[in-house]
Amino acid sequence: MRILVGISGGIAAYKAITLVRRLRDAGVDVRVVLTEAAAQFVTPLSLQAVSGAPVRSSLFDAEAEAGMDHIALARWADQIIVAPASADVLARMANGMANDLLTTLILATEAPVTVAPAMNRHMWAHPAVQANLATLKARGVRVIGPASGVQACGEVGAGRMEEPEIIASALLAPPTAVRWQGRHVVITAGGTQEPIDPVRFIANRSSGKMGFALAAAAQATGAAVTLICGPNALATPAGVTRVDVHTALEMHAAVLGQDKMDVFIGAAAVADYRVAQPAPQKIKKTRDTDTLTLTLVKNPDIIHAVAQRSPKPFVVGFAAETEQLLQHARQKRITKGIDLICANRVDDNLAFDQPDNAVTAIWANGERAFARAEKAALATQLIELIDKVIEQD
């Protein structure tokens, strides 16, 4: 995916550096365009370093135009994000101005445009700004944020630029034709932590990225999405309700506590076993023993419990396997009562804690292999397949 990041002048411009990094982490090809005012807040050099490409700001840079002219740049982009979008750039966009490179590109592109406004709360509330925003929205420009909180000017209110992680996940979830308004999608993500004593636990290598990407993709359909996740450092996708848990038992309780579920996606790597009796105090090393034995007991199978519910939601599971991938996945689908399972090969460079993934989806009447792709793109394709399979049922 190719994203053009436009940065306009404002204190929040420093957050655009993190946005560019997050996009690059996800494998996105990024080009940065600064307005003249933005260059007062962040330097082209920093953005060149994080984006890995030359940064542009002038429409009249003969050398840059000789490389990729502004029309070529407008065609190059799959998406344009303006973050932060100042009151000034919103006004210029709303009026169709083309008095610098960024606004010219926005007029010349056919790619979807998103803005992440950032400004003082009074400016944000001003009818002129709100009217410009309404014009842009009516033209199909997507608006992310602003968030509320303490502002750089010391005031508290709406106008802070949305966090870069949230903007990145909204951009990475590609648009979808699936419409799930009125449905509730519950997704588990990440690994669980099973305590051994107050300072130690048993965990696994799951990062939660696939489940978070699925939550963003499900949210893009208009569904209400609840994301129940083990400990992780990921930002909650915009509009998603997040429930944090640690152990498999907590995840089990949180999932079964949801009253209405239309689709359940078990993307979490739930610990199969927990320590039977975690020690109340830190376990000490002793001189006379070289081994320590922990007794483990089986955790409840969350996905199996969901599949037994009546009415039964459409149940989607993952089978992360290191060998005999498809055989194990087909078997697991049947024994656990799963409607559609994603067989997920695990090795050092795939699946766990990676930005991309490759899966084979298996359901009662078919199988489909998805080529290796960024998790966000894969998540949207999976949601589209789930929608088709639900329609066939």
Q: Which residues are tagged catalytic?
A: 153
What is the phi/psi pair of residue 116, to 5°? -120, 90
Contact flag: residue 215 with ligand C5P (CB under 6 A): no
Contact flag: residue 229 with ligand C5P (CB under 6 A): no
Which of 34, 167, 216, 270 is close enough to bind ligand C5P by CB under 6 A? 270
Contact flag: residue 245 with ligand C5P (CB under 6 A): no
Query: How many Å separate Cα 185 from the centre of its chain?
Result: 16
| CA dist list (Å): 362 to 111, 186, 326, 333, 366 | 34, 20, 9, 8, 6
For the stretch 342-360, what's the b/e string if a residue is b when 16 or more beta carbons lie within 10 angstroms of its beta carbon?
bbbbbeeeebbebbbbbbb
Tell the smallest beta-carbon distance from residue 338 to ligand C5P (Å): 7
Tell the smallest beta-carbon distance from residue 252 to ligand C5P (Å): 7
Name which of 86 and 299 has its Cβ closer to ligand C5P: 299
**Contact of 228 with 187, CB cutoff 8 Å:** yes
Contact flag: residue 299 with ligand C5P (CB under 6 A): yes
What is the phi/psi pair of residue 70, to 5°? -65, -30
Which of 163, 301, 339, 387 is close enough to bind ligand C5P by CB under 6 A? 301
Q: Which residues, in sequence order, are CB contacts of 258 under 8 Å at separation 6+? A: 184, 186, 226
Name which of 314 and 318 has its Cβ closer to ligand C5P: 318
Q: How many residues bind ligand C5P (CB under 6 A)?
A: 14
Q: Give the integer Cα–Cα distance in Å for 235 and 386.
A: 25
Residue 69 has a CB neighbour count (10 Å cut-off) of 12
- Identity at 24, one-letter amino acid code: R
Name which of 303 and 383 has its Cβ closer to ligand C5P: 303
Contact flag: residue 380 with ligand C5P (CB under 6 A): no
Tell the smallest beta-carbon distance from residue 385 to ligand C5P (Å): 16
User: Which residues from 307-336 bind ligand C5P, rule CB under 6 A?
Assistant: 317-319, 332
Q: Give the integer Cα–Cα distance in Å for 100 and 136.
A: 18
Tell the smallest beta-carbon distance from residue 226 to ligand C5P (Å): 15
Name which of 82 and 210 has its Cβ closer to ligand C5P: 210
Which of 132, 188, 357, 380 is close enough to bind ligand C5P by CB under 6 A? 188
What is the phi/psi pair of residue 26, to 5°? -85, 10
**Contact of 157 with 151, CB cutoff 8 Å:** yes
Which of 216, 268, 361, 373 is close enough to bind ligand C5P by CB under 6 A? 268
Which of 90, 229, 238, 248 is close enough to bind ligand C5P by CB under 6 A? 248
- Which positions lie near ligand C5P, rule CB under 6 A? 188, 248, 266, 268, 270, 272, 299, 301-303, 317-319, 332
